[in-house]
Structure 1
Amino acid sequence: MLRKRDRITKKCQWSLDVLDRAIKRVNDDRISLHKAAQEFKIPYSTLQKRYRRLEQTSPRLGRKPIFFPDQERILTDHLIDMTNLVYGLDSMKFRKIAYECAEQLKIPHNFNKKSKCAGPDWLEGFLKRNTNISVRKPESTSINRIEGFNKKEVELFYKNLEELMVKNKYEAHQIFNMDETGVYTVQEPGNILAKTGQKRVGTVTSWERRKTVTVVCAINFAGVYVPPMFTYPRQDHSPLLEKDGPPGAIYDCSKNGWTNESLFFKWLQHFKTFVKSCEDNKILLILDNHNSHLTLEAHEFCKANYITMLSTPLHSSHRLQPLDITFSGPLKKAYNRECDLYFKSKNLIKVTPYDIAGLFQKAYSKVALMDKAISGFRATGISPINTNIFNEDDLRREYCCYQHSG
């Protein structure tokens, strides 16, 4: 919560209007600066400085702002753009973006370098200087709204989608969906046959404690697949991790194997190179509402390269992400089968992170089909646009499922 401080200083009690009248009195009536300062209750040194330099600015207390007005305008525009595209930026996320902006522009600042975040006092000052931005209390959070897949959120998504389609006239090859999926060193065993009544049924799998590798995939409505990006849970990358991987794929590492802000930006650069976006080839990129997608760096990169990011509502990927609908499930099943075959053919040799790219490629080549991509966009009503793809029963069913699962 932002804090409100009461003014306790007696400095700068004068206003710019009083200063103007004092200077006018000196010029018109030829009185001394000392006399004018006493008469209008302005410090003599202040009046002298303003009179000699004609520095007609309002009095200012405290530290000067970190950003110049035009730089704060960049932050304001980013905040408004994110809000319009269904991204919710709370005060903490926005303060982190302010820190990122200061670092990116190499502006001296006193923000917290450990948490990589601007302070609440900075945000308070920012809101006072930019009155078109305000902190608003979220609407009442019913269970249905928390789940995200509800009528209001879905209608807003399709409204934004329709406006972008009308404005930019995207064709099938320009409409993309991006999503992340996890693959593991431990395959998920499928159903097996066993004696009726037997309580415990086991199968052989690799590693008891699995390691997660995040794979970023993207498709368009024309059925084209962007070469994926792999993120491994380790400190340093090794070329051995790329063995037999998908052609054109890129590879990197993070501490936990998840995609973070810098890795998402790396993927965006990879994506831009593949799709060749330009003024004559504008791209729509539909993706989920993850924190790593909210950075100012990513937003500015997309604007400069004619890529528009549109977010799906929170917790709606299973209904509004084409990749989730027709691709991710079959991909994981195919990957588990490849792991199982590899594991058994190698006489119980463990699947390691160095095997993942090759096993993934075998599964990927079987599942990454044109018809799966196209049917995913159709099933979500994204392309061609079908705002009535979900009816009241669909929304009610989601609500009931959420209640029962809770």
Structure 2
Amino acid sequence: MPKIRHKSTNKAQFSFGTLSKIEALMSQGHSMISAAKAMNTPFSSLQKRLKKNNSSEPRLGRLPVFAAVVEKVLSDRIKYLSSIFYGVTAIQIRKAAYQYAEELKISHNFDKSAKMAGRDWLDGFLKRNSISVRKPKATSINRITTFSKEEVQLFYRLLVDLMNKYKFAPNNIYNRDETGISTVQVPGKILSPKGMKRVGSITSWERRKNITLLCGMSAVGGFVPPMFIFLRKGMTLQLEKDIPAGTIYKCSDNGWINEHLFFEWLQHFAMYTKPSSQAPVLLILDNHASHTSLMMYDFCKQNNTHMLSLPPHTSHRMQPLDFTFFGPLKAIYK
């Protein structure tokens, strides 16, 4: 583990603001010694700074291996690679730092046997350059290449046109999405006796299966009772035990949504939202194939429901339910 060094000295307490005040006192006729005493600043430190015109923040300890300019080149490269979904690991940076120092013939105290910088250097480098260690989310190439400024601007232009034309009330603007929930929860850490060989935690099922959950939520927080889709041929009353009011349960051969089940959910949605010509409803959803059919179009047209599709492969950045509801739901469920 890196060493944690607590500061045990009163040195380097002054700041750039203190130096500015000292210079102001000296411009008023005070000597350097009297100005240093007035601001409780060591005279020798002040003399060195004024002589070298050094206005940087004071610091303790030895200087970093790399100069600030060299570190900036390295940190800019790290940030750029992260922005294009090719981020580097801490080990890779430590090895790169060692190679960098060797090629530039910079004196260093890195581990020559492992040929990489130490963890102390890495911690200091990250702190100095506003970089943190993060766990990335797996993102497909389709999502990376399709998510573009033009696609997003087109979506918002269509949204503005619909809002101007139909004047949707906030409680009539809905986002709809589905997600898969595993039947086997991931248990967290628990307390158990030392030396105990087997430590278990109860889960719903023995083998992992996904259950699809369909939700619809309005801009003001109102929601339509959800739909659950199970991977099975037929329903059983046991699955509907203790269900929330209004929830509907369906089955499919693969446990996912299909055109028939989406139409059933759309009827369920219309029953709860009660759209009318005076209060039309806007439904924002992804562009899954099950959502685009003549049957859906006719139903929405007859029931004053207007559907707006998110651009393809952009739901990971633009789907409200993913960020505000499904994420916290899965975290609590686990």
Per the shorter chain, which TM-score range? 0.5 to 0.7
- Superposed CA deviations along residues 49-91 of structure 1, whole A, max 9, x for unmatched, are xxxxxxxxxxxxxxxxxxxxxxxxxxxxxxxxxxxxxxxxxxx
Structure 1 residues 160 and 190, CA gap change in structure 2 (3 angstroms): farther
Report the Cα distance in structure 1 between the residues aligned to 2:326 and 2:143, rounded to whole angstroms: 25
2:270 to 260, 269, 272: 272
1:178 to 176, 179, 182: 176
Q: Which residue of 2 aligns with 1:315?
A: 313
The aligned residue for residue 328 of structure 1 is 326
CA contact 2:142–2:313 (8 Å) conserved in 1: no
Instruction: Give matches, 1:6-405, under 5 Å.
Output: 147-190=145-188, 204=201, 206=203, 207-336=205-334
Query: What letter is aligned with 1:331?
Result: L
Tell me, in whole angstroms, the C-alpha distance in 1 between the residues paired with 2:321 and 2:189. Answer: 24
Shift in CA distance, 267/166, structure 1 to aligned 2, threshold 3 Å: same
Q: Deviations over 1:202-243 (max 9, x none)?
A: 854634521211110010012101100011111111222111
Q: 1:203 to 1:314 in 2, by over 3 A?
A: farther
Q: What is the distance in 2 between the residues matched to 1:274 and 1:266? A: 13
TM-score, normalised with respect to structure 1: 0.44
AA matched with 1:299? Y
In the alignment, is the contact (CA less than 8 A) between 2:225 and 2:245 conserved in 1?
A: yes
> Do 1:234 and 1:255's aligned partners in 2 also have CA atoms closer than 8 Å?
yes
Return 5+ residue gaps in structure 2 as ranges: 1-140, 193-197
Contact map agreement 1:186 1:205 (CA 8 A) in 2? no
Distance 2:321 2:144 in 1: 23
Deviation at 1:145, TM superposition (A): 7.2
Judged with a 3 Å threshold, the aligned counterparts in structure 2 of structure 1 residues 144 and 295 are, in CA distance, closer, same or farther, namely closer
**CA separation of 1:326/1:304 partners in 2, compared to 1, >3 Å: closer, same or farther?**
same
Q: Is the 8 A contact 1:149 1:316 kept in 2?
A: yes
Aligned to 2:152, the other structure's residue is in SS state: helix
CA offset digits 1:345-381 (Å, max 9, x no partner): xxxxxxxxxxxxxxxxxxxxxxxxxxxxxxxxxxxxx
Distance 1:216 1:145, change over 3 A: closer
Structure-2 separation of matches of 1:263 and 1:190: 35
Contact 1:277 1:307 in 2 (8 A): yes
Q: Is the 8 A contact 2:215 2:227 kept in 1?
A: yes
Following superposition, the deviation at residue 189 of structure 1 comes to: 3.3
Residue aligned with 1:327, SS: helix
Q: Deviations over 1:126-168 (max 9, x none)?
A: xxxxxxxxxxxxxxxxx67764321011011101111100111
* Gap change, CA 1:202 and 1:293, over 3 Å in 2: farther
Q: Residues 85-116 of structure 1: CA distance to partner in whole angstroms, max 9, x if unpaired?
A: xxxxxxxxxxxxxxxxxxxxxxxxxxxxxxxx
- The alpha carbon displacement at 1:193 in A equals 8.6
Point out the structure with max Rg over C-alpha.
2
Residue 320 of structure 1: CA displacement?
1.1
Mapped to 2, the partners of 1:169 and 1:219 lie a distance apart of 18
For residues 187 and 145 of structure 2, the distance between their equivalents in structure 1, rounded to whole angstroms, comes to 29
- Aligned equivalents of 1:172 and 1:304: distance in 2? 21
2: CA distance between counterparts of 1:145 and 1:176? 24
Give the CA deviation at 1:318: 2.1
| Identity of matched residues, % | 53
For CA contacts below 8 A with separation 6 or more, give which structure has more relative contact order: 1
When residues 256 and 281 of structure 1 are mapped into structure 2, their CA distance, relative to the original with a 3 A threshold, is same
**1:368 paired residue number:** none
Structure 2 counterpart SS, 1:334: helix
**TM-aligned CA distance change 1:251 to 1:145, over 3 Å:** closer
Equivalent residue, structure 2, for 1:30: none
- How far apart in 2 are the matches of 1:265 and 1:309? 13
Paired amino acid for 2:285: L
CA distance in 2, matches of 1:186, 1:229: 20
Q: State the aligned residue count.
A: 191
Q: Please give the alpha-carbon distance, in whole angstroms, between the structure 1 residues aligned to 2:288 and 2:328.
A: 23
Report the CA distance shift for 1:147/1:325 in structure 2 as closer, same or farther (over 3 A). farther
* Matches of 2:286 and 2:213, distance apart in 1: 15
Q: 1:202 to 1:165 in 2, by over 3 A?
A: farther
Tell me the secondary structure at the aligned position of residue 211 of structure 2: strand
Q: How far did residue 192 of structure 1 move?
A: 6.7
Contact 2:143-2:314 at 8 Å conserved across structures: no
**Residue 229 of structure 2 contacts residue 256 of structure 2 at CA under 8 Å; is this kept in 1?**
yes
Counterpart Cα distance in 2 of 1:315 and 1:193: 42
